Chains A and B, each alone.
Chain A
Amino acid sequence: MSDFVIIGAGPAGISAANESARYGVKVTLIDENNLPGGQLFTQTHKFFGSREHRAGVRGFQIGYDLIEEINKLNVDVLLDTIVYGISADMEVKYVTEGSSAKSITAGNILISTGALEKPVVFKGWTKPGVMGAGAAQTMMNVHRVLPGRKVLMVGSGNVGLIVAYQLKQAGADVVGIIEAMPSIGGYKVHASKIRRIGIPILTSCTIKEAKGSPQVSSAVIVGVDKNLREISGTEDEIKCDLVCIAAGLKPFDELCWLLNLEFKYINELGGFVPVHNDDLETSMKNIYIAGDAAGVEEASTAMEEGRLVGVAVAQKLEYLSDRQAEKLKGKINDRLKYLRLGSFGKKRAEGKKKLTSISK
């Protein structure tokens, strides 16, 4: 039996563990990797934000700091462990590598399992040499394997722009970035960084085919009109051995689907998202959601959402008085508010509002 079982030890899960354990909650934190930290360990770039959100610090360094914090607290961490189901009576079922299946009964559960890359389907998309940009980032920054030498990046959101830059830093030749929309999706500063080192960005352009047998040796790209219809005659064959797909992320919520939680489709948050209230509690009592699993945002928002759940659980278990808890939540919500400002953040804020308003 555990007061609080957290599934997924990314920035959201670790922050929830730290925040609740600090007040005395007995926490079990589970992750399928051999190190807690989630996506943070793939991120070698400096983060945006303010001092509170460690702006100017590189993602992986924030990961190490979070781990140091958990180590100081009394948190039970199960690594190399995959959760494969949750029963309606709050039994969390898991398998640790090299061991047989076990389960643990939880008073409260947080599902902070992150996000999944969206695929793009085109002729040849299953060939070796076509992969998600996140996968490429994990290969090079975590496992130190360069996944290709000549890379075509598909998608110009922040993930596409950042990973293209990091591939170049790792020694690959990035032949270009293509984007189906007429303008780039990510921050202009990231795109500027890409342009000045000589990597072209072609807008209103998409991928038609990956060629090669079996490994990718070239890609056919094509111009598209405003309605994203291909303009025939504009095809071009580009030599490359890696096609990286950065077409966005969607909340990774298989465990929530298994529990039959209530979902809502919110485009701004990446797709179907479990409906939740202001404490991030889902349609099923005592089951919480946070981070990218609760709508694709950023590590900084994931950490704040994790803290919010940490406080809510500590409050429910009476480790915090209502007054203390509401004060803490107020501060976290203020910080979340400013993370969702600006033309990029505003859309996510609107998405979140649509989601929480349902559960009221």
Chain B
Amino acid sequence: MKSKVSNKSNAGIITLGEFKKIPGYPEEDDFSKGPIAVIECDQDIPCNPCEEICKYGAIKVGKPITNLPVLDAEKCRGCLKCITICPGLCIFVVYRDYTDKTSLIYIPYEFSPLPEKNTYVDVLNRRGEKICKGSIRKVIKLAGSNKTFVIGMEIPKKFYNTARHFEF
């Protein structure tokens, strides 16, 4: 929607600088150990299913339930379960070093139709802007995911912190 009303608003956008202060966001080094959960949750909403579903104990909310989820990068195996339970659809799993040149980003997906594997897609950032091309590598339906699919998209490595959706 093009408009004369200024759209500089950051409504709904958490900038990269802010993420670094969020306890669910891995440290830079943590990305080298393989796929890891990135929890983009920064408001004190009473909510904790991510803590409960993680069988490795890698996510801690504790009490009060309004605490932000804290990621224990050592324990996270990138199993994808938390992606499907988060009611805010705000958890991703990022495999930065998928190949030398590419990363694999796992995102929650609740639209139909589902993309087919190996589809070439436009990759979108947090503002819904096209930033690069990518390929769908995984279309996953986890047991108990209750209609939230997980899509794995391969993207150029430099976008691993910004690529968060796709269009096809």
Contacts and interface: CB of A to CB of B under 8 A. Distances in A.
Given A202-B1, A236-B3, A338-B64, A55 B49 contact: yes
Nearest to A50: B48
Interface residues of B, number: 47
Nearest to A58: B146
A285 interface: no
B40 to A, nearest CB: 7
A190 B165 contact: no
B167 to A, nearest CB: 7
Interface string A138-174: 0000000000000000001000000000001100000
A44 to B, nearest CB: 9
A189 interface: yes
A187 B125 contact: no
Given A169-B111, A202-B1, A222-B5, A192 B48 contact: no
Contacts of A344: 43-45
A54 B52 CA distance: 12
A341 B89 CA distance: 21
B11 A197 contact: no
Contacts of B45: 48, 187, 189, 342, 344
A338 B14 contact: no
Given A188-B43, A189-B89, A183 B5 contact: no
A330 interface: no
Nearest to B63: A338
A56 B85 contact: yes
B40 A234 contact: no
Given A50-B46, A195-B127, A204-B5, A342 B66 contact: yes
- 3 pairs of A and B residues whose beta carbons are closest in the complex: A191-B12, A189-B88, A198-B128
16 contacts: A47-B87, A50-B52, A56-B53, A57-B146, A61-B146, A176-B1, A188-B43, A192-B12, A192-B40, A192-B90, A195-B127, A196-B124, A198-B129, A205-B5, A338-B66, A344-B43
